[in-house]
Amino acid sequence: MRYTLKQIHCRPWTLSYLSAKLIESHYENNYGGALRRLNAITAQLESLDFEKTPPHVLNGLKREELVALNSTLLHELYFASMGGDGQPTKAMIEVLARDFGSLDRWRAEFRAMGYALGGGSGWVVLAYVPRDGRLINQYAAEHSQAISSGVPILALDMYEHAYHMDFGANAKAYVDTFLRNVDWPALGQRYEDAAKVSGPRPLEQPEFGDIQGVGVEEVKAMMAGGQKVQVIDVRPRAAALRGQDIAEGAQWRDPEQLQQWIGELSKSEPVVVYCAYGFHVGCKTAIKLREAGFDAKYMNSGHSGWKAIGYPLKMNP
Ligand SMILES: [Fe+2]
């Protein structure tokens, strides 16, 4: 068996207003059931000759594997989410305030999401997204729908088997009871572990030294904020033909002719240059401008980045 059973991560008799009978049934039938199913599916997949397996058989097994695997992971997290006194720690209050505005705002959304699944089914998950370095509340229907690269740190099971025995159809009372049982110190530890996961590495361009690129949103904000900034499109002549679109507020200048237009620029205002995608031409031009004494940066996603985010364009005259 590839997957082994994990101990129940809370002491059922210590939970308030959740019966040990409910928790035991949940662990034995639903968590245990998912694990048994997962091992059976895994064994079946291992026995397949993929050359001869019909697509519908493989599709079905891989779908069921995903559902069962995620069900075991989410159930383990669910049991580990409870067993505390429901009192948020200072550190987690600060983290939730950073990402949601306030603890109350986070709780209002999480609780409302749980309420909204009453009579339906699915999970409410608090997950850390390494790319963004922040937390988000998400639904996970069908035990799946995980955020790619997300690290779940709190899970609320909203399938009826999680509460019907104690609460009948009163899903709201169950959600409130779950929140009163959250083990916040353990949640804080899981957050700390999750926050150590780094996001995707930025593209490295060692040939350009340590020059810093600036994001397209930041450039737009500089322009919108009334800051005097000189934005120069330095795509090679072939890429920036007359009549083609160019960022509103920018001017096109031929990167090959830098010495002819450098005199137009002011040294007292920052300069942002960009090329097609934010690689060589933009970086090289920014470096040359810095060497000439300008406060120059390059926009790191270039003309395509400006278009991808939907900022306004004009025709290159
Ligand atoms: Fe469950």
Which parts of the chain sit beneath pLDDT 50?
none
Q: What is the Å distance from ligand 1's center to 19 Cα?
A: 15
Q: Report how far residue 33's alpha carbon sits from residue 29's, in angstroms, rounded to the nearest whole number.
A: 5
3-class secondary-structure state, position 246? strand
Which pLDDT does position 241 carry in this prediction?
67
Quote the tokens at residue 187.
Answer: 């949640």
- Domain(s) labelled CATH 3.55.40.20 in the chain stretch across 12-194
**Sign of the four-CA dihedral 45, 49, 54, 59:** positive
Q: How far apart are CA 269 and CA 228, in angstroms?
A: 6
> What's domain 12-194's superfamily in CATH?
Iron/manganese superoxide dismutase, C-terminal domain (3.55.40.20)
157 alpha carbon – ligand 1 mean position (Å): 5
The CATH 3.40.250.10 portion of the chain extends over 206-315
State the pLDDT at residue 76: 98
Residue with tokens 């709201």: 172
Question: How confident is the model at residue 242, as a pLDDT?
Answer: 65
Token duo for residue 231: 């934005």
The model's pTM is: 0.90
Rounded CA separation 119/308 (Å): 40
Under DSSP, the state recorded for 311 is: -
79 CA to centre of ligand 1 in angstroms: 10
pLDDT of residue 45: 98
Find the 5 Cα to ligand 1 centroid distance in Å: 15
Cα–ligand 1 centroid distance for 71 (angstroms): 8
CA neighbor of 84 nearest in space, from 20, 179, 6: 179
Cα separation of 163 and 167, whole Å? 6
Q: Given 3.40.50.300, 3.30.70.1070, 3.40.50.720, 3.40.250.10, which CATH number is that of 206-315?
A: 3.40.250.10
Note the pLDDT of residue 209. 79
Question: If you search the block for the tokens 């890429």, which residue do you land on?
Answer: 239
The sign of the CA dihedral 261, 264, 292, 204 is negative
pLDDT given at position 238: 79
Helix H or strand E encompassing 296: strand 296-299
Report d(CA 46, CA 184) in Å as an integer.
40
Beta bridge partners of 275: none
